[in-house]
Amino acid sequence: MKRTAIICMIMLSLLTLRAFSQEISYEIKVSYNENQIPLTADIKINVTKGTPFYTFYLMTNDPVHGEILRESGPVEKRSFTFDAVQTGKYFIKIVDRNGMSAGKTVDIASGNN
């Protein structure tokens, strides 16, 4: 009986976390490093809504099967920058402590001036 009560309490706490989880809202800013050859850019992600800690991923441009190119590891701060990213299309993925995720494609264009 006691074991069943403990299991029920654990399940309820897990469901409560999911029920009160916030979706992730964010902004992405790309800053080109025009003095570098080849051209690179810094991708800065600012999370405006979500539950810290966050993990930020720079992936190939496939949200489902993309390869992780860089990963921040769990960070408490709401912003993270991937520095010196070469030209190409990438998928930026953000995952918060509750497992909520969000992301979008970012195009680092070679002809941007």
Tell me the three state secondary structure of residue 22: coil
Long-range contacts of 66-75 (CB under 8 A, 24+ apart): 66/91, 66/93
The domain segmentation of the chain, as residue ranges, is 24-108
Predicted structure pTM score: 0.77
pLDDT digits (tens, 9 = 90+) for 11-57: 555 554 444 557 999 999 999 998 888 999 999 999 999 999 999 99
Fold of the 24-108 domain: Immunoglobulin-like (2.60.40)
pLDDT at 9 over 60: no
Percent of the chain with pLDDT over 90: 69
The β-bridge partners of 8 are none
